[in-house]
Structure 1
Amino acid sequence: MQILDALGPLFLLILLGALLGRLELPGGDFWPRLERLIYYLLFPAMLVGTLAEAEIARVPVARLALALLGGMLLFAILLWWWRPRLTPEAPTFTSLFQGSLRFNTYVGVAGAAALHGGLGATTAAVAVALMVPTVNLLCVLCFIGVGTLGPGSLGRSLRALVSNPLILACLGGIALNLSGLGLPGWSAPTLELLGRTALPLGLVAVGVALRPQALLRRDRAVWATHGIKLLLMPALVLGLTWALGLDSVSRDVALLFAALPTATSAYILARQLGGDAELMAALITGQTLLAMLSLPLWLSLVAR
């Protein structure tokens, strides 16, 4: 019941966003502009504010990295090995790859904070710092490997990778923390105020980005990717957390991030870099809705 109480409001915000998107409220280009504001300002502000003053020593960074990145890298390798069985089409494979490895950062950080308060938010910020650069690099390499990048796309992809605001925010927050500077003067309360708005608005934006009509696509590739992302990945990461002896907070955050639905930003990447955007929309929508059932079940399993 405690897990449902923590995650329930997050799911309601996503469903609210889906309703607003369906009703086309407020209309125009409001939501794309708001999503850019969240991505480039509000969420980075929250990450910098969290990491700059976090007690990172309380987080077992090395073992958390082994659990999260170990699971991600293993499935990246397995997906390449399974590629002939999954699909012969390069654009379809890139969407399967993204759908299996990417994760919705907004849901992850919000869920960790709801479950474990400040330490959960700190651990989630460390997870973001570890996973965001890794998953972005793997996905760019996937597009390169299958040859869907058009002329000039490789350069744009690499520039987007090194200028990713979430990566830069994590690096900046960690640098401020390690340097001992922290957040002087009014910067701490300013970033805290900005960060408070990031998660609720981000969750509503997740709902707005859902495409219910994409659920009509029910081929084997869709269900294979759902199974990898929502069942196999969390099972592997949970096993790694037990093997590595992670504490309950780190274990819960690792499991949460492993079981998250894929990121809505994957649709934009698929459209820009030659992936199957229609399939990506189906994966995002299906996984987000299914995760409302699977996430509480996974977390309830370890809470016993």
Structure 2
Amino acid sequence: MWESVGVILPAFGLIAIGFVAVRTRLVSERAGEGLSEFVYTLAVPCLIFRTLARAEVPAVQPWGYWIAYFAGVAVVWALAMLVAGRLFGLAPAERVLAGFSAGQSNTVLVGVPIILRAYGEEGAVPLFLLIAVHLPIMVAAASLLIEGRDASLIGIVRRLLVNPIIVAILLGSAARPLGAFIPEPAWRIAELIGSAAVPCALFAMGAALHRYGLTAGLPLPTIVSGLKLVLHPLIVYWLATRVFTMPPAWTGVAVLFAACPTGVNAYLLAERYRQGVALTSSAVSLSTMLAMGTIFVWLQVLGK
């Protein structure tokens, strides 16, 4: 229990500090946005690059690990779309965004800090192997569902290939056989920038909470948050422990990844399509606030 408290309190304490700092104007909204940009474009990519370039990656692809996670995504996505359409009468694009909000985890600003805190180096490889496929699959699926026949696969791929996280994954994988030829100062620079990822990401998340707010009310965002924080990790936990065989650390990473709150990409996607902005911003804010309690419970379930 106390180990779980040691994981949760520093993480959500930094989120609270970020929120209060912006709320009291100790730090400007612009500074919070700049910090988010630094985390997303430099700090986390450096952390991913350094980890993948030097880590022991399993020779066999962990299909059961990925299937356990994305089966959970599929279930909560479908349920959120059904609820958004049948009970709230939302338009098709908004239903997709409700589903995306229920299935898409905040990997960069919340997932990376909490999972690395809970599992350390042992959890780094499964964490980044999941990040490697999470963003492409989620964004591509949402774009195809929203755009329908007008969707451009080339455009989707092009957007993904310039994403800093995807670039870091590709470069980290390519650098594995060349690691001995990379000078030590270069590794040290990547380490220094990457070490800023965890505290900066959590502070930036707090600043983002102040920016997004709860403009869509509570009913649908509460349902979406429940699917995201409770049902999604429950499905992943059942599949990882009852259906597939994997090391305990991999199970824990997959469950905590699923237990993370709705990621800010849901809001960014809504902004891009000019639909469901209030819903996604509310889902991001509410799920992040509730996640402190639910992640604590999941850490207990996982023995952390």
TM over 0.5: yes
The alpha carbon displacement at 1:24 in A equals 2.5
Deviations 1:259-291 (A, max 9, x none): 110112322221121221112111111000100
Cα distance in 2 for residues equivalent to 1:272 and 1:141: 14
- Correspondence list, 1:9-20, <5 A: 9-20=10-21
The alpha carbon displacement at 1:183 in A equals 6.9
Cα distance in 2 for residues equivalent to 1:161 and 1:256: 25
Q: Given the superposition, is the C-alpha separation of residues 103 and 28 from structure 1 closer, same or farther in structure 2, using an over 3 Å criterion? A: closer
Residue of 165, 181, 185 corresponding to 2:179: 181
User: Would the aligned equivalents of 2:232 and 2:259 in 1 still touch at CA under 8 Å?
Assistant: yes
Residue of 134, 138, 142 corresponding to 1:135: 138
Corresponding residue of 1:270: 270
Q: Give the letter aligned to residue 90 of structure 2.
A: P
Report the 3-state secondary structure (helix = DSSP H, G, I; strand = E; otherwise coil) of the residue aligned with 2:182: coil
Q: Give the letter aligned to residue 33 of structure 1.
A: G
Cα distance in 2 for residues equivalent to 1:146 and 1:92: 17
Cα distance in 1 for residues equivalent to 2:181 and 2:263: 30
Report the 3-state secondary structure (helix = DSSP H, G, I; strand = E; otherwise coil) of the residue aligned with 1:209: helix
The alpha carbon displacement at 1:168 in A equals 1.6
- Correspondence list, 1:82-101, <5 A: 84-86=85-87, 87-101=89-103
The alpha carbon displacement at 1:11 in A equals 0.7
Q: Given the superposition, is the C-alpha separation of residues 182 and 207 from structure 1 closer, same or farther in structure 2, using an over 3 Å criterion? A: farther
The alpha carbon displacement at 1:82 in A equals 5.5
Structure 1 unaligned runs (5+)?
none
The alpha carbon displacement at 1:83 in A equals 5.5
The alpha carbon displacement at 1:135 in A equals 1.3
Q: How many residues are paired up?
A: 299
2:116 is aligned with 1:117: no
Cα distance in 1 for residues equivalent to 2:115 and 2:275: 31
Q: Give the letter aligned to residue 55 of structure 1.
A: E
Corresponding residue of 2:238: 239
Q: Given the superposition, is the C-alpha separation of residues 279 and 9 from structure 1 closer, same or farther in structure 2, using an over 3 Å criterion? A: same
User: Would the aligned equivalents of 2:215 and 2:279 in 1 still touch at CA under 8 Å?
Assistant: no
Cα distance in 2 for residues equivalent to 1:281 and 1:28: 16
Corresponding residue of 1:2: 3
Larger deviation: 115-124 or 156-165?
A: 156-165
Cα distance in 2 for residues equivalent to 1:13 and 1:240: 32
Identical positions, percent: 27
User: Would the aligned equivalents of 2:22 and 2:29 in 1 still touch at CA under 8 Å?
Assistant: no
Cα distance in 2 for residues equivalent to 1:182 and 1:45: 18
Q: Given the superposition, is the C-alpha separation of residues 33 and 235 from structure 1 closer, same or farther in structure 2, using an over 3 Å criterion? A: same
User: Would the aligned equivalents of 1:68 and 1:131 in 2 still touch at CA under 8 Å?
Assistant: no
Report the 3-state secondary structure (helix = DSSP H, G, I; strand = E; otherwise coil) of the residue aligned with 1:167: helix
- Correspondence list, 1:80-229, <5 A: 80=81, 84-86=85-87, 87-105=89-107, 106-145=109-148, 158-177=157-176, 179-181=177-179, 184-185=182-183, 186-211=185-210, 214-215=213-214, 217-229=216-228
Report the 3-state secondary structure (helix = DSSP H, G, I; strand = E; otherwise coil) of the residue aligned with 1:303: coil
Report the 3-state secondary structure (helix = DSSP H, G, I; strand = E; otherwise coil) of the residue aligned with 1:210: helix
Q: Give the letter aligned to residue 181 of structure 1.
A: G
Cα distance in 2 for residues equivalent to 1:184 and 1:212: 41
